[in-house]
Structure 1
């Protein structure tokens, strides 16, 4: 999970304390972070030519990645309101 955590810190650089608290206290956050990491890795492999998928499958992966980021952003907002 450390790679996923670092990736999210790069995407949400101003929210380090919230990310840390969520990583420690939220299994939902950890699941979303792992899913985001997996999706990001798969997308990078396709875009680098190391894996092949149909264009519509790649678009689906990208949509799922954006959905996970939206969910993570919502959890960050909730954590920061607390």
Structure 2
């Protein structure tokens, strides 16, 4: 869907406290989250403003966002298991 919200807190509301904690304490998580946010912003901008771009480039951006989302999710799950 065009312009869909992919913020981490929207994607993983059950991990809200873990997202906040990891962003402030874990440099690796913070770096991945910043790149994820940048990509999401860029993708939504391309979609909403109908900026011309090649399909290949657009697919590459979305694929990187999915990869980062998976990595961030794994870190959130691992963090939650440690907290239990």
Task: Structure 2: state its 5+ residue gaps.
Answer: 1-6
Provide the aligned length of Structure 1 versus Structure 2. 76
Task: Structure 1: state its 5+ residue gaps.
Answer: 1-6
Superposition CA RMSD, Å: 1.1
What is the 5 A alignment of 1:31-50?
31-50=31-50
Aligned to 1:4: none
Q: Runs of 4+ in structure 1 displaced over 6 angstroms? A: none
Distance in structure 1 (CA, Å) of the matches to 2:30 and 2:51: 26
What is the TM-score of this pair, normalised by structure 1?
Answer: 0.85
Aligned to 1:9: 9
